[in-house]
Structure 1
Amino acid sequence: MSRETVNALCATFAGATCDDALGPGHDSWKIGGKLFASLGPDTRTVSVKTDSIETAQMLIDAGLAGRARYFHKSWVAVPLDADPAELAHRIGVSYDIIRASLTRAVRDSLSG
């Protein structure tokens, strides 16, 4: 997937917004003010949240992702040239994890 395709996919999630809070050239995708996907200016990866450190390590060990620099160990960096279905799945899982962590009031205020 290209950076543009990843950004277009992230934009389809209810309540998703993009900013460059992490610095110029970063695409930081958030829901309810919390990050669910991040693309750096010079990287060919998208950083996403997993449900646990163990899941992140399993993805790294399987060669499906790498360690997401500057993020908690439960985050991974998935290459943009990964299988498109896997990449879309990982972004969707990250979105779902972050959305579930929001307060009910915030979740209820989101469209979709």
Structure 2
Amino acid sequence: MNKEKLQVYCLSLLGATNDYQADWQADRYHIGGKMFAMMGTDATGKPVITLKCEPSRAEELREIYEGIIPGYYMNKTHWNSIYFDSNLSDEFVENLIQHSYELIFSKLTKKVQNQIISQ
């Protein structure tokens, strides 16, 4: 996986913003003030991207792909972390980013959704 390509992809999504969380040493990506992706490291310093995921799909992905684990520092039911050194394609991870973005967007108020859409 290419971190820079995935960063560009996250920011290409409508209304996406990012910041750097110094305490976590992580880049965070938001929609409507809510995080949909975070790029940082695990306790051993291995780079990961953490994404929101529908719970049953999250569990299924963890069973199928060795490089996907329960969300590091996040709610393990709703978030997955993916190691950058896993052999997953950028396209596959972009699809997971899109899924995370859509889950977060759908939980925003209609007012905020409309503000984002009309940008």
- Counterparts of 1:1-112 in structure 2 under 5 Å? 1-21=1-21, 23=23, 25-41=25-41, 42-52=45-55, 54-63=56-65, 65-73=68-76, 74-80=78-84, 81=86, 82-111=88-117
| Matches of 2:100 and 2:116, distance apart in 1 | 17
Give the TM-score normalised by the residue count of structure 1. 0.88
Q: Which consecutive aligned stretches of 4+ in structure 1 deviate over 3 angstroms post-superposition? A: none
| Matches of 1:28 and 1:39, distance apart in 2 | 6
1:31-85 deviation digits (Å, cap 9, x = unpaired):
1110100001543221001112x22111111125112211112100123341122
1:72-111 deviation digits (Å, cap 9, x = unpaired):
1210012334112210100000001000110000011014
Q: Give the AA of the match of 1:93.
A: H
Report the identity percentage: 25
Question: Alpha carbon RMSD of aligned pairs, Å?
Answer: 1.8
Q: 1:25: how far off?
A: 3.3
1:20 alignment partner, SS class: strand
Q: 1:21: how far off?
A: 3.2
Aligned 8 A contact 2:6 2:90 in 1:
no
Q: Give the AA of the match of 1:47.
A: T
| Matches of 1:95 and 1:50, distance apart in 2 | 9
Structure 2 residues not aligned, in runs of 5+: none
- Tell me the matched-pair count: 111
